[in-house]
Amino acid sequence: MKILAIETSCDDTGIAVLKIKNSKFEVLSNIVSSQVKLHKKYGGVYPLLARREHERNLAPILKKALLDAKLLKPKNKTQKAKLDLIAVTVGPGLEPCLWTGINFAVDLAKKMDLPLVPVNHIEAHILANFIDKNPKSFPAICLVVSGGHTQLILMKRMGEYKILGETRDDAAGECLDKVARILGLDYPGGPEIAKEAAKSNQKKKYRIKLPRPMIYQKNYDFSFSGLKTAVLYDFKSRSPKIRKSKNYRQEMCFETQQAVTDVLIRKTLKAAKDFKAKTIILGGGVTANQELRERLKERIKKDLPKIAYYRPEQKYCTDNALMTAVAAYYRQKEKTKNWKKIMANANLAIGESL
């Protein structure tokens, strides 16, 4: 069986082809075209600009994905690729971007007379762990952290989810992107902050202390907008010379990364204990963060040594269509040729019916 998946929920255009034989996955192609350069100058994603880029990118990326998968021969113009299923992200995400992917997927499915599977982007981030591994001990606590989401999810079994808590304002990735912007760093901010933090020296000359919002509250919710404001206040209280100094920038990045990861780690461990989880699963762009991955690993080893710990390969943490294909494989019973049923839902929640 071969699934072609399309992902356009935010600013990455992704198309992948996944082959499944005897329940084993083989990645035939996985193309991600990043729009980072385009959005860099604005310090964030502009939905209409992102939509225009998706529209431009989808056809050439499809061709490349099929060529890479060896489902098309370079010079054969009449050849039809042999596929079984088309998957497309329907939400959550930026609505104009989601519709671009959906319209493209529906056209393709009609042309090829193939069924479509609508995919939830948050579930896809979780199932990025199943590309090359097979977490199978449930319940699992999933921490999904991206530019648009910060959620703790109880996964009772494959396909059964309950949101335990989420951010009440900014997502963790959004906070990192905004802090980076304050400090004059590039978009996306997460990787830039991580790089600067790694260079920060031990002395911590500026003694920056940021809040750890909601860390001791008994719920599983988060709040990151106050953290960004605290960075802004500290930044504004410094002289222009200090603001521009690399020591200050590196120290601020270090403390921001510590604050975000402290909260994420504490709440994840609390949820894992409270729900007697057998597994902890990470997903989403921010979980590419080495500090988060490593510190959580150490804490699990120390406090919950029996728990299995999964995080996607770093390249599969950020948006890609391969995870969309994997999610579609597990959601095959939702396949349909009733195209009108495939609708974008910018606020789609995990577990909500599609």
Q: List interacting residues with ligand KG4 (CB under 6 A).
A: 10, 146-148, 173, 176-177, 188-191, 194, 284-286, 288-289, 318-319
- Is 89 a binding residue for Zn ion by CB under 5 A? The answer is no
* Nearer residue to Zn ion within complex by CB, 5 or 230: 5
Q: Is 280 left (phi over 0), alpha (psi -120 to 50) or beta?
A: beta
| Window of 15-23, 67-75, 141-149, 339-347 that interacts with Zn ion by CB under 5 A | 141-149
- Taken in order 228, 232, 237, 238, the sign of the CA dihedral is positive
Minimum CB distance to ligand KG4, residue 348 (Å): 13
- Is 319 a binding residue for Zn ion by CB under 5 A? The answer is yes
* Nearer residue to ligand KG4 within complex by CB, 29 or 289: 289
Number of residues that bind Zn ion (CB under 5 A): 2
Q: Which of 87, 80, 120, 114 lies closest to 102 in space, CA to CA?
A: 87
101's contact among ligand KG4, Zn ion, none, with CB below 5 to 8 A by partner kind, is: none
Reduced to 3 states (helix: H, G, I; strand: E, B; else coil), residue 26 is strand
CA-CA distance, 256 to 302, in Å (whole number)?
Answer: 24
* Nearer residue to ligand KG4 within complex by CB, 91 or 188: 188
What's the distance, CA 209 to chain centroid?
28
Angle among Cα 150, 151, 156 to the nearest 5 degrees reads 160
Query: Count of CB atoms within 10 A of residue 28's CB?
Result: 20
> Read out DSSP for 196-240?
HHHH--TT-TT------TTTTSSSS-B--HHHHHHHHHHHHHS-H
Minimum CB distance to ligand KG4, residue 188 (Å): 3
- The amino acid at residue 293 is R
Q: Which of 318, 317, 299, 319 lies closest to 307 in space, CA to CA?
A: 299
Q: Give Cα separations from 92 to 35, 97, 148, 167, 321 (angstroms).
A: 19, 11, 9, 15, 14
120's contact among ligand KG4, Zn ion, none, with CB below 5 to 8 A by partner kind, is: none
Minimum CB distance to ligand KG4, residue 287 (Å): 8
* Nearer residue to Zn ion within complex by CB, 83 or 328: 328
CA-CA distance, 124 to 7, in Å (whole number)?
Answer: 10
* Nearer residue to ligand KG4 within complex by CB, 66 or 263: 263
* Nearer residue to Zn ion within complex by CB, 129 or 146: 146
318's contact among Zn ion, ligand KG4, none, with CB below 5 to 8 A by partner kind, is: ligand KG4
Minimum CB distance to ligand KG4, residue 73 (Å): 33
- Is 12 a binding residue for Zn ion by CB under 5 A? The answer is no
Minimum CB distance to ligand KG4, residue 106 (Å): 22
Identify any residues that bridge with 15 across adjacent strands, giving them in sequence order. 6, 31
Minimum CB distance to ligand KG4, residue 240 (Å): 27
Among 13, 29, 129, 146, binds Zn ion (CB under 5 A): 146
Minimum CB distance to ligand KG4, residue 124 (Å): 10
* Nearer residue to Zn ion within complex by CB, 61 or 122: 122
* Nearer residue to ligand KG4 within complex by CB, 214 or 288: 288
300's contact among Zn ion, ligand KG4, none, with CB below 5 to 8 A by partner kind, is: none
Cβ within 8 Å of residue 257, ≥6 positions away: 176, 193, 194, 197, 289, 291
Chain residues that interact with Zn ion, rule: CB under 5 A:
146, 319
